[in-house]
Amino acid sequence: MRVVVDLTRCQGYGQCVFLAPEVFSMGEEVLRYDLDPPDDQRDHILRAAAACPVQAIHLDWTAMRALPASRECGIRFEGRIVIVGGSLAGARAAEALRRDGFTGPLTVIGDEEGEPYDRPPLSKQVLTGQVAPEHTKLPRVRRVEAEWLSGTPATGLDVAAKKVLLADGREIPFDRVLLATGTRARPWHDEREAALTGVFTLRTAGDAAGLRAALAAGPKRVLILGAGFTGSEIASVCRELDLPVTVVERGPAPLVSALGGVIGDVAAELQRAHGVDLRCDTTVTSLEGDADGRFRRALLSDGSTVEADVAVVALGSIRNVEWLRGSGLAAGVWGVTCDAGCRAVDLNGLVLDDVFVAGDIARFPHPLYQYQFMTLEHWGNAVAQAEIAAHNMISDQAHRWPHLAVPVFWSSQFGINIKSVGVPTFADQIVVTQGSTADRRFVAAYGYQGRLTAAVTFDQGMWLEFYQGRIEQAAPFPQGDAQPARVPERLSASAETTVVVTGHDPAERRVSLLHTPGGVTS
């Protein structure tokens, strides 16, 4: 029986742990669970799922007694729908299409073999060995009649001819298409060094299986490149496994690019308190191997050397949009630009009615944040945006919805449940409103020009909902002992691609993109 918990919604009530203690476990607020528990736990799991106060536990539809009803879409769309991307966003979109009454032909194209799986556990309970990497398959939340073309990457999109081109030469026609190809791990820039045995990235279940095996072998030290959420979570697992770990971070503290410097400092103290050898304002300049091609040491920008036998490159992700080059869509390293209704925009900024985008690659304008375009690589966003995209694909204009969800994400590391609502980098001020950073149990509010824009909690997840409501109401930034937010400058992601406008007459003015091969971003 498959289980997945929507940890975006979870508030840490712990009811599931009481009712199914062999499947779910909880620290102060960090929830861990078995994604594929044995059948003898079925009754326990059904009790736990029913009891969840926020109904965050999802099971296979076959285990559910009642399924959510379909929603009104106006005129039914009857054409052929193709979803490119078979992971969380693609799978949820397929389920939502069928739930809401779409009966036409549906094809899902995925580059990975097998059924879609859940990625967040890959950097947590899979690495600790509590859950096997192959036991992370997502529950099928309803029956989906669809043609699944897995293991077949898409290589091109012909918008005019309404066809998706596949690597094996096939052409898949569509009336409407959803692009949800997600991201991949950013590899180490030096291919030869990246190929050393013991050098890993972490994105897929296969990556997790390899890294888990390397950690289980008891390396004398693990080196982690990058202290974003993934790098920090892996460092946390290493400490849980009692493995020595060095984390090298380019910025002044962990998590700075997501949460700013004030919380970054808290995260740095947290890592060091757990025995992480944390090197900030430092980068790795090269990875060195021995004669057998095994990773042995890394050279750092401060001239020092770290001896280790496992290195994890956790330097962020790259959006899988290269296949859209030449499609005429406004697609680049920033993602695929779309409107708030998930409809893709072409190079000229014109909305396309038959091409939709969802998940990690969708770059959409958010009205709460001055209509800035943003991409959100969060589990909750993939689910919410897939719902909106699916709905809009089969709705008439009058029934279409905007994707206005306030971003929420979570991480668990070093025994602490970190949650965020809003956009913490959209801030000039920060104040601790509840608890204290010294206890590592607190709520921090972020504000921009006097308005509340985000909140971050450490083991205080139950309060997040309040702050979400306040953000939605454009509430004033709370009074208190505020500090500068110390958030990074918004990254410019245009280095690989240049936008050029040509023509003078309004009927002739058009945009084109100039690609710079091998360009570097950020």
Partner 1 sequence: MSCPFQRLLDPSGRPDPYPLFAELRATPVARQDDGTYVVSTYREIVALLHDPRISSRRRDLDRTPAFIALDPPEHDRLRRLAMRHFGPPGSPGRIDALRPDMLEITTGLIDALAGKRRADLVEEVAYPLPVAMICRLLGVPREDEGRFHAWADELIETLAPGEERRAERERARREVTGKLNDYLDGLVDARRREPGDDMLSGFIADGEMTQVEIVRTGVLLLIAGHETTINLIANGMLTFLRNPEILARVQADPGLIVPAVEELLRFEPPVQMLSSRVALEDLTVAGVDIPAGSPIVLALAAGSRDPAHVPDPDRFSLDRPRNEHLGFGGGVHYCFGAPLARLEAQIVLTELVGRLREPRLVTDPPPYRPSPVLRGPRHLWVEYAEVARP
In Å, how far from its chain's centre is CA 52? 24
Give the range of 10-18, 186-194, 270-278, 507-515 binding partner 1 by CB under 8 A. Answer: 10-18
Token couple for 122: 């890959």
Q: Which of 19, 73, 146, 211 binds partner 1 (CB under 8 A)?
A: 19
Q: Which residue has the tokens 């990058």?
A: 226
If one asks whether residue 434 binds partner 1 (CB under 8 A), the answer comes out as yes
If one asks whether residue 404 binds partner 1 (CB under 8 A), the answer comes out as no
Token couple for 124: 């947590």
Q: Which of 4, 7, 10, 17 binds partner 1 (CB under 8 A)?
A: 17
State how far the Cα of 372 lies from the Cα of 337, in Å rounded to an integer: 11
Give the range of 272-280, 318-326, 402-410, 427-435 binding partner 1 by CB under 8 A. Answer: 427-435
| CA angle, residues 297, 240, 269, in degrees to nearest 5 | 80
If one asks whether residue 47 binds partner 1 (CB under 8 A), the answer comes out as yes
Q: Which of 55, 62, 286, 498 binds partner 1 (CB under 8 A)?
A: 55
Task: Please report how close the Cβ of residue 13 comes to partner 1 at its closest, in angstroms.
Answer: 6
Helix or strand holding residue 467 (H, E): helix 464-472
If one asks whether residue 46 binds partner 1 (CB under 8 A), the answer comes out as yes
State how far the Cα of 84 lies from the Cα of 92, in Å rounded to an integer: 12
DSSP-assigned states of every residue in 165-197:
EETTS-EEE-SEEEE---EEEPPPS-HHHHTSB
Q: Which residue has the tokens 């379909």?
A: 70
* Closest to partner 1 by CB, 87 or 468: 468
2 burial type by CB count under 10 A (0-12 exposed, 13-18 middle, 19+ buried):
buried
Task: Please report how close the Cβ of residue 431 comes to partner 1 at its closest, in angstroms.
Answer: 13
Task: Please report how close the Cβ of residue 2 comes to partner 1 at its closest, in angstroms.
Answer: 18
Give the range of 24-32, 82-90, 112-120, 349-357 binding partner 1 by CB under 8 A. Answer: 24-32
Compose the 457-486 pattern: x for residues touching partner 1 by CB under 8 A, - for all others.
-----xx-xx--x-----------------
Q: Give start and end residues of each alpha helix (H) in 350-414.
A: 379-393
Q: What is the number of other CB atoms lying within 10 angstroms of the CB of residue 40?
A: 8
Task: Please report how close the Cβ of residue 62 comes to partner 1 at its closest, in angstroms.
Answer: 14
If one asks whether residue 72 binds partner 1 (CB under 8 A), the answer comes out as no
If one asks whether residue 28 binds partner 1 (CB under 8 A), the answer comes out as yes
Q: Which of 53, 114, 129, 519 binds partner 1 (CB under 8 A)?
A: 53
* Closest to partner 1 by CB, 257 or 468: 468
Which among 123, 76, 119 has a CA at the least distance from the CA of 100? 76
The count of residues interacting with partner 1 (CB under 8 A) is: 38
* Closest to partner 1 by CB, 18 or 371: 18
Tell me the CB-side half-sphere exposure of residue 224, using CA atoms within 13 A: 33
Token couple for 111: 């580059």
If one asks whether residue 14 binds partner 1 (CB under 8 A), the answer comes out as yes
CB contact at 8 A, 177 and 356: yes
Q: Which of 66, 160, 398, 507 binds partner 1 (CB under 8 A)?
A: 66
Going by C-beta distance under 8 Å and a sequence separation of 6 or more, which residues neighbour residue 505? none
Give the range of 59-67, 232-240, 353-361, 405-413 binding partner 1 by CB under 8 A. Answer: 59-67
* Closest to partner 1 by CB, 31 or 82: 31
Q: What is the number of other CB atoms lying within 10 angstroms of the CB of residue 516?
A: 11
In Å, how far from its chain's centre is CA 170? 30
State how far the Cα of 497 lies from the Cα of 493, in Å rounded to an integer: 8
Q: Which of 36, 54, 194, 428 binds partner 1 (CB under 8 A)?
A: 54
* Closest to partner 1 by CB, 68 or 293: 68
Q: What is the distance in angstroms between the CA of the first residue and the CA of the last residue of the chain?
A: 42
Q: Give start and end residues of each alpha helix (H) in 312-440.
A: 379-393
Give the range of 145-153, 293-301, 332-340, 428-436 binding partner 1 by CB under 8 A. Answer: 428-436
Task: Please report how close the Cβ of residue 273 comes to partner 1 at its closest, in angstroms.
Answer: 19
Give me the phi and psi of 265, to 5 degrees please.
-65, -40
Which amino acid, one-letter code, is at 22? E
Give the range of 23-31, 121-129, 319-327, 395-403 binding partner 1 by CB under 8 A. Answer: 23-31
Which residues between 439 and 458 bind partner 1 (CB under 8 A)? 441, 443
Interface residues with partner 1 (CB under 8 A)?
Answer: 13-15, 17-22, 25-28, 43-44, 46-47, 50-51, 53-55, 64-69, 433-435, 441, 443, 462-463, 465-466, 469
